[in-house]
């Protein structure tokens, strides 16, 4: 089999493996820029798209760690899906013509998109809680790029983007939060109302569908606010939800414990014996296993953050397979993992 053009670092470890918090595993910065005087990607002629692509690749190369520029001729659909899973992107990126490209490097934490929604998107994920320090590195790259690339900018609206909602700073900061107790015990809705109005929180799928009990919190606006305001606000609100999850873990009622033990037991049984598992079934069940691990009701080596990615399609298989085959592979993976764990509803909780 031909070696993948994706750097080995992407395959050697889970993206969230180094997280210090089970409640707030990672954050992602997304920076959007366009090159003046070119049209936005949807209206670019192929000749101009190729010019923008060449310009950005040349400009980015000095600032990345062994960058790889991946085009439709150098990456398979499954490898593209692997990278999108790695960075938790929902875009299909079906249009993958000559003028478009992906950028990765040996850090394993950066994904660049050229000529997709905007001329350049830089996704930078981190498990570091010092978000200001992480952004400083991203801002330094952008500053150097701006010395040679005329980014589209308006004195009134700031940096211009294809979607006006992201004009201004062109910066989105996302905090991924694993809040199974708040979500499963129905406390999350009331807490959302206590967040500051400059942030929004949603699920990874539909807005109020919190698959795997994961919530994505991000800044609501990019226009009329500074990068510092965005970072401070997201960090403050994410820390608030994290603390609320910790509090409820210490204050569970007997009724709540009974409910959780039942759900954990059911999840344990499903993951141990299922012959076929959808991604939603697997992630929801493993989230309950994580609750059991936190409350000392599940014994054995287990990390939700590590196995969250392993269950997803492009991380699970190395070659194209049918949906039925993928669900069967996911069930085998889950059964093998659960064989190393055991339930322990003792007095230790």
Q: Is the pLDDT of residue 59 over 60?
A: yes
Q: Where are the alpha helices (DSSP H) in the chain?
A: 9-12, 46-60, 77-86, 131-146, 180-184, 188-192, 227-250, 254-273, 279-294, 304-310, 313-316, 323-338
Reported pTM: 0.94
Mean pLDDT value across residues 306-329: 93
pLDDT of residue 349: 46
pLDDT of residue 105: 95
Question: pLDDT averaged over the chain?
Answer: 93
Q: Is the pLDDT of residue 100 over 60?
A: yes
**246 phi-psi bin (left φ>0, alpha ψ -120 to 50, beta other):** alpha
CA distance 264 to 286: 9
CA distance 319 to 307: 19
Tell me which of 170 and 73 has the higher pLDDT.
Answer: 170
Can you name the residues that pair with 177 across neighbouring β-strands?
A: 215
Which sequence spans correspond to the domains of the chain?
9-248, 254-343
Q: Which fold has domain 9-248?
A: Creatine Kinase; Chain A, domain 2 (3.30.590)
Q: Is the pLDDT of residue 304 over 60?
A: yes
Q: Is the pLDDT of residue 221 over 90?
A: yes
Tell me which of 95 and 142 has the higher pLDDT.
Answer: 142
Mean pLDDT value across residues 137-158: 95
Cα 336 to the chain's mean position, in Å?
26
pLDDT of residue 14: 83
Q: Is the pLDDT of residue 325 over 80?
A: yes
Q: Is the pLDDT of residue 162 over 50?
A: yes
């Amino acid at each position: 089999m031909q070696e993948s053009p994706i750097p080995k670092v992407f395959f050697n470890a889970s993206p969230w493996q180094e997280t210090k918090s089970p409640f707030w595993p990672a954050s992602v910065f997304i920076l959007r820029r366009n090159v003046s005087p070119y049209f936005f990607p949807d209206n670019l002629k192929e000749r101009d798209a190729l010019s923008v692509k060449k310009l950005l690749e040349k400009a980015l190369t000095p600032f990345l760690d062994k960058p790889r520029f991946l085009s439709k001729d150098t990456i398979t659909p499954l490898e593209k899906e692997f990278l999108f899973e790695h960075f938790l992107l929902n875009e299909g990126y079906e249009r993958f013509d000559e003028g478009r490209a992906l950028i990765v490097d040996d850090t394993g934490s950066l994904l660049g998109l050229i000529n997709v929604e905007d001329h350049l998107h830089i996704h930078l994920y981190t498990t570091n809680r010092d978000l200001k320090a992480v952004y400083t590195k991203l801002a330094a790259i952008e500053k150097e790029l701006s010395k040679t690339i005329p980014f589209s900018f308006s004195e009134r609206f700031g940096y211009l983007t294809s979607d006006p909602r992201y004009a201004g700073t062109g910066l989105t900061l996302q905090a991924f939060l694993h809040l199974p107790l708040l979500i499963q015990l129905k406390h999350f809705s009331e807490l959302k109302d206590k967040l500051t109005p400059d942030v929004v929180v949603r699920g990874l799928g539909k807005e109020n569908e919190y698959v795997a009990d994961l919530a994505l919190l991000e800044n609501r606006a990019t226009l009329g606010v500074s990068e510092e305001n965005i970072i401070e606000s997201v960090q403050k609100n994410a820390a608030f939800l994290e603390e609320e999850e910790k509090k409820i873990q210490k204050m569970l009622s007997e009724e709540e414990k009974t409910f959780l033990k039942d759900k954990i037991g059911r999840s344990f049984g499903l993951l141990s014996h299922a012959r076929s598992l959808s991604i939603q079934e697997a992630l929801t069940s493993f989230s309950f296993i994580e609750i059991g691990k936190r409350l000392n009701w599940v014994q054995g080596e287990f990390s939700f953050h590590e196995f969250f990615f392993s269950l997803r399609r492009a991380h699970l298989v190395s070659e194209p397979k049918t949906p039925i085959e993928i669900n069967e592979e996911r069930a085998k993976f889950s059964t093998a993992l659960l064989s190393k764990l055991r339930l322990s509803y003792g007095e230790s909780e």
